[in-house]
């Protein structure tokens, strides 16, 4: 099997840790009687499912009959990740997502402000301040990341 690509042990460890975290959340959901019980059940289900899938994928791709297929899959992923057109498209998609999220946050601020003034939602001001803070965070982070990238590539 020398020269073949196999999944890393860290993938298996990640899956096992997720299952264990899911069991801890499940234990907490059963033991702790609070309003967070349903949330803890949800976390436990999510963690256990993610862990089981990760463990399954580890053993599936490391079985002798699938090692060649996995090797081809990894090579194709490397080609896709380094393709210049795909890189430009990912960058452009990220930019569009950034712009759409800023527009969505801005519209949400207006909607929650109106709903608060009409007394449809109580304490809408908290939501508005949170969204405004998030909007400022997004814009500042975008500027900081852009400036760091400019410095890196100049």
pLDDT value of residue 154: 83
- What does 125-142 look like in DSSP terms, one character per residue? HHHHHHHHHHHHHHHHHH
Kindly state the tokens that stand for 14: 């990640």
For residue 25, the model assigns a pLDDT of: 94
The string of pLDDT tens digits covering residues 31-69 is 988 888 889 999 999 999 999 999 999 999 898 898 889
* pLDDT tops 60 at residue 121: yes
Token output for 134:
């998030």
């Amino acid at each position: 099997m020398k020269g073949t690509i196999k999944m890393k042990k860290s993938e298996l460890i990640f899956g096992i840790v997720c299952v264990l975290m899911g069991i801890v959340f499940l234990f907490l959901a059963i033991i702790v009687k609070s309003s967070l019980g349903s949330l803890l059940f949800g976390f436990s289900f999510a963690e256990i499912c993610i862990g089981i899938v990760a463990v399954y994928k580890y053993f599936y791709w490391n079985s002798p009959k699938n090692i060649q297929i996995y090797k081809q899959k990894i090579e194709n992923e490397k080609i896709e990740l380094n393709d210049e057109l795909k890189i430009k498209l990912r960058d452009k998609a990220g930019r569009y997502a950034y712009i759409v999220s800023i527009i969505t946050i801005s519209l949400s601020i207006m909607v929650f402000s109106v709903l608060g003034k009409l007394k449809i939602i109580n304490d809408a001001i908290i939501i508005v301040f949170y969204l405004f803070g998030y909007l400022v965070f997004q814009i500042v982070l975008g500027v900081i990341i852009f400036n760091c990238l400019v410095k890196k590539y100049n």
